Structure 1
Amino acid sequence: MVVQQHRLRGGTVAVAAAVVGVTALTGSLSGCSGGRADARTGEADPTRTVRDASVVLAHAGTSKTRTSMEMATGGTRVTIRGEGTYDFRQRVGRLKVVLPTDASGAEEHRPITELLAPGALYMKNRGAGVPADKWVRIDTTTLTDGNLVTGGATDPAAAAELLRGAREVRYVGQLDLAGVRVRHYRGTTDIARAARAASPQVRGALAAAAKGFANDAVPFDAYLDDEGRLRKVRHRFSYLNQGRTVAVASTTLLFGFGTPVEVRLPDAEDIYAGRIEA
């Protein structure tokens, strides 16, 4: 699939800027469902099915999640991985994000704890001069990518809601995904259209992304189970950063539906208000 290129308006943004050192590392290494049935396949209308994925997840409630974000530039590829739980009704979640190793193979950073909430991303063990016992709060509605890339893990709700702008969707076929039968759909989603159709909790972040990317088209592969629940989605972003093209593939896996999710947002005194090193 061809990856669409996006140029961020108003200047460049460091790759996964909220995840300390990833851009530097890269440079160093370079050194529910429904609708009309398809007459050919008998499947429900693929575009409507994919657009409804976030609504089905809200009904499902909660799940476990694994994420990965692959970044490639100058022939070098790095991967950031996350794991945790998410509540699709409250739009809150908790992830442990593991950064890649440095060129010598030693771990550069401790795992980062991320709390996801409507319009906000909280990060602990961020580094960059932030005390270990403090959180950093980022307003995702001010990010030029709406936190689709910045946090090193796309918010699961945003990943699903981004499909509300799906177009040119085709049904690929069925396959087995970790023991679950899923239907595979492929297409392109429009960030601006998704923002307009998104739930209020996610709309601000996606609206910011729609303004930040010069090209709204994002290719995707989505995998839904027999109940219409999104089990896996892979989005492909690409943009220019400091004169280099950076390709990003963000993958979100969802499983363990019904898992209890407990997220307690930090108190004001636990949020770092000082200067964060570049």
Structure 2
Amino acid sequence: MTERQQHKRRRGAGVAAGVLCVCLAGSGCAQSGAAAEDAREGEAVQAVRSAADALVGARSSKARTSMEMATGGTRVTIRGEGVYDFRRQIGQLKVQLPQDPAGTPDQRPIMELLAPGALFMKNRGAGVPADKWVRVETRSLSDGNLVTGGATDPFAAAEVLRGARTATYVGEDEIAGTPVRHYRGTADLGIAAQDASDGNKESLAAAAKGFATDKVPFDVYLDEAGRIRKVRHRFSFVNGQMNNAVAVASTTLLYDFGAPVDVRLPDGDDIYAGKIAEE
């Protein structure tokens, strides 16, 4: 009887040991799965953060931009088109403002020249002579010129991604016939400012302080060379007059890499030094 009970106990101990091994193995699998997921996210974050460097390697491109925002209960979209040199961080955009609610014919496009630390605008209106440029120091803007110009500087848009804290690979897609990889995540403007080029460091630092939040959700589409084909940011800034947060969605499309960029910044005599009227 005693020998039979000991045999049963040995069998029970063996079963328990087997169950323990299965549990430990299962735990190991779970840990391995979590580690693999972390590795995939790490690769996604690195791919997104490296996108700005890939653009520098591409030298230049053509660009299309759009900026959507809700104001006065109406959603408006500002569109731009031009070229950009990623090595010199100089570009030119023709920005078309939307038709106003009164039905006034479309305004003349605003010509914008983008340079490290500066934005030049022509056809600005507000009492500025038609043949003069307005110069704005982007580091003095609370949004770092990510929103003010009606178009996000293409390289600044890429450098925001240097602050990517999270990124998830969504899947394969296609932009204008080009296969791309779609990533989605959130960038931190403060981190982006620390890692940005000298030309964008101060502007992004200003945006980190001036926006309603320094967290920027994004969707970005990279081609096989790691270059941005499309990036969409969702910014949130505080309206000074209404003192409430305004959501802005900024989209930048890049194509025709290596396109020639012939941009000459205005001479001092071409820059308007007078007072700009309130609009």
Tell me the TM-score normalized by structure 1. Answer: 0.83
- Aligned counterparts of 2:211 and 2:38: Cα–Cα separation in 1: 36
- How many correspondences in the alignment? 242
Q: Does 1:78 align with 2:76?
A: yes
Structure 2 counterpart of 1:127, from 125, 128, 141: 125
Distance 1:87 1:175 in 2: 26
Q: Partner of 2:50 in structure 1?
A: 52
Distance in 1, matches of 2:255 and 2:246, equals 29
Q: Encode CA deviations 1:39-60: one digit per residue, 9 max, x unaligned.
A: 6997981000000000000000
Segment of structure 1 superposing worse, 245-254 or 72-81: 72-81
CA displacement at 1:75 relative to structure 2: 3.3
Answer whether contact 1:66 1:81 (CA < 8 A) is retained.
yes
> Is the Cα–Cα contact under 8 Å of residues 73 and 245 in structure 1 kept in the other structure?
no
* 1:251 and 2:251 matched: yes
Indicate yes or no: 2:264 matched with 1:239: no
Identity of aligned residues (%): 65
Larger RCO of the pair (alpha carbons < 8 Å, separation 6+): 1
Matched, 1:166 2:164: yes
The residue that corresponds to 1:137 in the other structure is 135
The alpha-carbon deviation at position 204 of structure 1 amounts to 1.5
Amino acid at match of 2:57: H
Q: Distance in 1 between matches of 2:181 and 2:37?
A: 17
C-alpha distance in structure 2 between counterparts of 1:47 and 1:266, whole Å: 39
- Which runs of structure 2 are paired with 1:172-187 in the superposition (5 Å)? 172-187=170-185
User: 1:1-278 to 2 correspondence within 5 Å?
Assistant: 45-241=43-239, 242-278=242-278
Displacement of 1:238: 1.8
Structure 1 residue 213, shift from structure 2 partner: 2.2
* Structure 1: segments with no counterpart, 5+ residues: 1-36
Give the Cα–Cα distance (whole angstroms) in 2 for the partners of residues 70 and 38 of structure 1. 37
| Alignment-mate amino acid for residue 159 of structure 1 | A
Kept in 2: contact 1:73–1:244 (CA 8 A): no
1:214 Cα deviation from its structure 2 partner: 4.4
| Larger mean Cα displacement after TM superposition, 231-240 or 218-227 | 231-240
SS at match of 2:171: strand
**Partner SS, residue 191 of structure 2:** helix
Q: State the distance in 2 between where 1:245 and 1:236 align.
A: 12
Could you give the per-residue CA deviations for residues 58-98 of structure 1, whole angstroms, max 9, x where no partner exists?
A: 00000000000001135310000000000000000000000
| Secondary structure of 1:45 counterpart | helix
- The answer to which structure has the higher helix fraction is 2
Q: CA deviation at 1:212?
A: 1.4
Q: Distance in 2 between matches of 1:265 and 1:114?
A: 10
Contact 1:53 1:163 in 2 (8 A): yes
Partner Cα separation in structure 2 for residue 207 and residue 235 of structure 1: 17
Q: Secondary structure of the residue that 1:152 maps to in structure 2? A: coil
Aligned counterparts of 2:142 and 2:260: Cα–Cα separation in 1: 32
Contact 2:212 2:238 in 1 (8 A): no
Per-residue CA deviation, residues 247-277 of structure 1 (Å, 9 max, x unaligned), is 1000000000010001100000000000001
Report the Cα offset of residue 181 of structure 1: 0.4
Q: CA deviation at 1:38?
A: 6.0
Shift of 1:170: 0.3
CA distance in 1, matches of 2:244, 2:212: 16
Looking at CA atoms only, which structure, 1 or 2, has the larger radius of gyration?
Answer: 2
Query: Aligned letter for 1:90?
Result: R
Gaps of 5+ in 2: 1-34
TM-align CA RMSD: 1.8
